[in-house]
Structure 1
Amino acid sequence: MVRYAKEHKQVTRQRIIEAAGRRLKRDGIDGSGVATLMKDAGLTNGAFYAHFESKEDLVATVVSEQLRGQREWLTSFPPGRDGVEQMVRTYLSPEHRDLPEEGCPSAALLDEITRCADPTKETYTTSVVAVIDDIAARLAPHDPASVRTKTLGIYALMAGTLQLARALADRQLSDDILEQGVRNALTVLDASEG
């Protein structure tokens, strides 16, 4: 029996997480069986349980990793209001709409995460709050808590807008929804706290 180095196991695990992230965002949690997820990673079903206790464990890990990736993506934008506006415009773009497997896990999986077990919901909550806190810190570096709720509202608006835009068969209407979503997010962003 061949024993693999610890690094090999970690690389393989990461390959499964990345392949599963793309597949889950494209086909959904319920539409992606373990066999398909493992095939995408170039592995057999038998290898799955060497890395994850269950599909739910994999889903929770994927959600956490995808949102960690979203936090890294945020660092590509300049700090402050202008950077957040650029992020909103990029998020609510036709390119993001058309490539769900490369995009935001919230917009792609939110409806299914609501039906997941509590550990997955808890992982999602912790991870999405970290994203929100990162955005809030960009808006108000000296008092991020002052804009946390507003930031959460903008994030929810963006995810919901993207979900609706993806669901529409009418391409022009979908484009219009994205443009209106940008205007709505910027209106909330620029609204003074009341």
Structure 2
Amino acid sequence: MRYRKEHKQATRQRIIEAAGRRFKRDGIDSSGITTLMKDAGLTNGAFYTHFTSKDELVATAVADQLQTQNANIVAQAAPGRAGLEQIVRWYLSAQHRDSPDEGCPSAALLDEIRRCADPTKQAYTDGVLVVIDGIAARLEPDDPLSVRTKALSAYAMMAGTLQLARALADRQLADELLEQGIHNALALLGVEHQHPGALN
């Protein structure tokens, strides 16, 4: 019985992770249950064993993607200002720009999340605040709540910069935009940076 429960949880997680990647690559509305289940290596019939609706899967996948971003990027960054620079430089990297299905759900899905039902918006809000609080804790360790809105504003600027860089046909211009975005985000966060290639 225990194996069956663990197997079901592992299968559910496989669906969530595959759906998160597909949503970021193709969009929520463009990703049907058949495609999502095929990505997870399962049949359509198995979907309702794990989820009551596509909306439930969307909310769960969005939350999972933000948890993964927090665990793999924000939580791994150094404490203090050095960590802020690591986070900003990862976020506005050419690699992140070129790998939307492996990257930030905010940059890939914000416009669609805006149109989702309240449970998905709440899952997004809860997840993004974990990321933001990790940034705020590096910005102001003694009182992170006092800089939460500033951290959220910097995150919004980075997400918009990444979206625009992904949309530009001119790769050199997109690269320059990312570099300027790094400069802008670090300036907003009050981080001094003197790395080669950074704009002054």
Q: Tell me the TM-score range normalised by the shorter chain.
A: over 0.9
Report Cα offsets for 1:70-113 as digits up to 9, x if no partner. 11121211010111111101110000000001100101111110
Find out whether 1:11 has 2:3 as its counterpart: no
Structure 2 unaligned runs (5+)? Answer: 192-200
C-alpha separation in 1, matches of 2:182 and 2:164? 14
C-alpha separation in 1, matches of 2:154 and 2:126? 18
Question: TM-score w.r.t. structure 2 length?
Answer: 0.91
**Offset, 1:119:** 0.9
Give the root-mean-square deviation of aligned CA atoms. 1.3
3-state SS of 2:169 partner:
coil
Judge conservation of contact 2:139–2:189 (CA < 8 Å) in 1: no
Report Cα offsets for 1:41-82 as digits up to 9, x if no partner. 000001001101111100000000111111112121101011
3-state SS of 1:90 partner:
helix
Q: Describe how 1:19-168 pairs up with structure 2 within 5 A.
A: 19-73=18-72, 74-168=74-168
Find out whether 1:182 has 2:173 as its counterpart: no
4+ residue runs of structure 1 moved beyond 4 angstroms? none
C-alpha separation in 1, matches of 2:70 and 2:99? 18
Q: How many residue pairs align between the two structures?
A: 189
Q: Equivalent pairs: percent with the same residue?
A: 71
Letter in 1 for 2:47: F
3-state SS of 2:111 partner:
helix
Judge conservation of contact 1:161–1:177 (CA < 8 Å) in 2: yes
Judge conservation of contact 1:79–1:139 (CA < 8 Å) in 2: no
Judge conservation of contact 1:84–1:139 (CA < 8 Å) in 2: yes
